Amino acid sequence: MIYILRSRNKLQGDLLTSVTLSITVIIFTILVGGCVNHRLETYQELRSTEVQPPAYYYTEVEKKITNTESDPIVEPDQYLNELEAKVLKYQKQWQAQLESETPVPNLFYDLSTDTMKAHRQLAASPEAARARLAEPIALELLVALGYEWSPGLKSAREKIRAILEQYPQAVYLENVLRQYNAFTKQLDTKVGPMRHKEMMAMKFPFPDTLALKGQIVTEDVRIAQKEFEIALRDLVTEIKLAYYDYLFLVEATRINEENQKLLQQMIAIAQAKFRVGQGKYSNVIMAQVELSKLANVIITLEQQRETIIARLNTLLNASADLPLGTPIPIEEERVISTLTELYELAVQKRQEIQKQKLLISKMSLVVEMAKQMTYPDPTLGASYFENRSIADLKHRQKMPMTFMTQRTLNPANTAWFGHRDSYIREMDVKIEAMAHKIKDLENSLHFVVKKHHFGMETANRSLRLYRQTLLPQAQQALDAANTAYQAAQIDFLSFLDAQRTLLSLRIEEQRALRDYRQHLAQLEQAVGMILPKQPLIRGF
C-alpha cells in the first residue's frame, strides 16, 4: 500500500515538472517570435522610409562638371594678375641671366676674353682638359677650369637657382585667399531660395604686399649673387697664390741645378789640380759636400712642388696626383692706384660690404611688409549670405544671415597684436646693428689693405735692391773668384763663399718676386676687384 502511494506521488511530480517545462518553452518561443517580428517591422519601416541625402551632396558630389575651364571658380583680378606677371617676369629674367655665360655681371675675373672662352670650352671635355694640363700651363687655364669645375662655385650657382623658385611662392597666399573668396560666393546649398549679395570689399593682403614679396625675393637673389662673387674671388686668389708658389719652386729648382753644374765643373778642376800637386784633397771634399747639400735642396724643392701640384688639383676639383705641366712665366706688373685710392675702392667694391647693404635693404622691406600686415588697410564689408530651408518656408521663420554685414573703417577697432609690434621694433634694432657692422667691416678692410700694400712695397724694395745692387755685385765677385782660383791666386774656400752668396741672392730675388705677386693678389682680394696695373720694367 505504501509502495503504491509513493509511486503515485512520483508520477504526479514528474507530470508537474513536464508541464512546467512545456509552459516555459512555449513562453520563450512567444517572446523570441515577438522580438523577431518587432525587428522585422522596424527594418521594413526603415526600408520604406525615404532618406534624402543632404543638399550639399547633390551640389558637390553628384554634380557633373564637363568643362572646368568654361566655368572658372576664381574671378580674375586684373591688377593682381599684373603684379603676379611682373613678379614672375623677374624670375624669367634672372633665370636667363643664370643660363648665360656668366651668371653674375661684373665678375671679379674677366671671363669674356677669347682665351678664357676657349679654356672654358675645353673644361666641357674632362679627358682632353686633363691631357692639356700635362703640358705647360698658364694661369688663365687654371682659372677657367676652376670656374667650371669647382664644387664651391657650383653650389653657389644652384643656390641662386633655388632662390628663383621663391617667386612663384610669393603669389601663393593671394591665390589661396582669392579661391576662398570665390568658394563662398559660389556656394549653393539647393535648399530654399538663396539670398546672396555681391561683396564690395578690399582684399587683404593688399596687392602692394605682393610687390614687396617680389622685391624681397629679388634682394635674396642679389645676395646670392654676391655670395657667388665672393666664392669666385676667393677661388681665383687661392689659385693665384698656389700658382706663384709653383713658379717660385720651379725657378728655385732651376737656379740650384745651375749651381750644381757649376760645382761639378769646379770639382773637376779641383781634382785635376790635386793630381798635378797644385791643389789640396780637402778642396775636393769640400766641393763634394757642397754638391750633396745642393742635391738635398733640389729634392726638397721637388717635394714641395708635388705638394703645390696637389693643392692646385684640389682647387680644380681634380685628382691630387694628376700631373701638371710647367707653369708659364707671367708678366711682372705694378699697381697704379695710391693707398688712399685703394681705401676708397675697397669700400665701394668689397663684396662683403655690398652683401651687408643688401641684407639691410631686404630687412627694411621685411619691416615694411610686417607693418602693413600688423596695421592693415580698412575694409568695407557689405556682403551676407542668407539661407532659407523648407522648414523655414512652412513656418515663415527667417534664419540668421550666415555672414554678417560689418564695417572696419575705424583703425581703433582694428585688432592689435603686441607680438607683431615688438617684432617690428626688434627688426629696427637689428637693422641699426647691421649698419654698425658695415662700419666695422670698413675699419677691418682698411687694415687688410694697408697690410698687403705694405707687404707689396717691401717686396718691391727688395727686388730693386737685389736687381740693381746685390746681384750684379755678387755675379762680379763670383766671376773674379773663378778666375782667381783657376790661376791659383785664391783657395777653393773663397770660391765657395762667392758661389754660395750668389746662389742665396738669386733665390731671395725669386722669393721677393713671389711675395710681391702674392701680396698683390691678396690686395685685389681685399679691394674686391682686379686693380689697374702697368708693366713692371725689369731692372727698375
What would the mean pLDDT of 59-88 be, rounded to a whole number?
A: 52
Single-letter code of the amino acid located at 525: Q
Q: What DSSP string describes 347-396?
A: HHH-HHHHHHHHHHHHHHHHHHHHHHHHSPPPEEE---EEE--HHHHHHT
The answer to whether residue 512 sits within a structural domain is: yes
CA-wise closest residue to 217 among 167, 159, 157, 156 = 167
- What region does 488 belong to: left with phi over 0, alpha with psi -120 to 50, or beta? left
Per the listing, cell 600688423 goes with 374
Number of neighbours of residue 302 by Cβ within 10 angstroms: 11
Is 154 found in the same domain as 21?
Answer: no
> Helices in 490-531 by DSSP H: which ranges?
492-527
CA angle 87, 89, 92 (to 5 degrees): 125
The two counts, helices (H) then strands (E), for the chain are 17, 6
State the residue range of the domain holding 399.
80-109+150-406+435-535
- Do 216 and 267 belong to one domain? yes
Stretch 455-483: mean pLDDT: 92
pLDDT above 70 coverage of the chain, percent: 64
Identity of the highest mean pLDDT range in 7-21, 252-266, 302-316, 479-493? 302-316
pLDDT at 468 over 90: yes
- Where residue 426 falls among pLDDT bands split at 50, 70, 90? confident
Does 156 share its domain with 40? no
Shared domain check, 26 and 170: no
User: Is 525 contained in some domain?
Assistant: yes
Report d(CA 100, CA 158) in Å as an integer.
14
3-state secondary structure of 533: strand
Long-range contacts formed by 463-469: CB under 8 A, 24+ apart: 463/509, 463/512, 463/513, 463/516, 464/540, 466/505, 466/508, 466/509, 466/512, 467/509, 467/538, 467/539, 467/540, 468/539, 468/540
d(CA 190, CA 82): 36
Q: Could you give the maximum distance between any two Cα atoms of the chain, in Å?
A: 177
Residue 52: pLDDT band (50, 70, 90) is low
**Do 88 and 46 share a structural domain?**
no
With CA atoms as reference, report the closest residue to 495 among 262, 293, 318: 262
Specify if 63 maps to a domain: no
Cell (9 digits) for 103: 651668371
Model confidence at 372, in pLDDT bands (50, 70, 90)? confident
97 in the same domain as 38: no
Return the C-alpha cell found at 162. 633655388
- Confidence check: pLDDT of 495 > 80: yes
Band of pLDDT at residue 280, cut at 50, 70 and 90: confident
One domain, residues 104 and 14: no
| 246, part of any domain | yes
Q: Which pLDDT does position 2 carry in this prediction?
A: 44
User: Over the chain, what is the mean pLDDT?
Assistant: 76
The number of C-alpha atoms within 13 Å of 62 and in the hemisphere containing its C-beta is 9
Q: Residue 194, SS3?
A: strand
Q: State the CATH number of the domain containing residue 352.
A: 1.20.1600.10
Q: Judge whether 57 lies within some domain.
A: no
Q: Return d(Cα 308, Cα 518) in angstroms, integer.
A: 15
Same domain, 283 and 328: yes
Q: How far is CA 39 from the centre of its chain?
A: 73
pLDDT score for 343: 94
The Cβ-side half-sphere exposure at 493, using a 13 Å CA radius, reads 3
Q: Who wins on pLDDT, 87 or 366?
A: 366
Cell of 164: 628663383
485 touches 476 (CB < 8 A): no
First to last CA, the chain: 163
Q: Are residues 14 and 97 in the same domain?
A: no
Bond into 205 cis (ω within 30):
yes
Residues 13-24 pLDDT 10s: 555 556 555 556
Query: Would you say residue 190 lies in a domain?
Result: yes
Is 320 in the same domain as 439?
A: yes
More confident residue, 207 or 123: 123
Does residue 429 belong to any structural domain of this protein?
Answer: no
CA 532 to CA 419: how far, in whole Å? 53
Between 45 and 322, whose confidence is greater? Answer: 322
Give the number of other CB atoms < 10 A from CB of residue 424. 16
Structural domain includes residue 441: yes
In this prediction, residue 240 carries a pLDDT of 96
Burial category of 82 from C-beta neighbours within 10 Å (exposed 0-12, middle 13-18, buried 19 and up): exposed
CA angle at residue 523 from 520 to 529, to 5 degrees? 105
One domain, residues 88 and 39 = no
- DSSP code of 67? -
Number of domains in the chain: 2
Shared domain for 451 and 499, answered yes or no, is yes
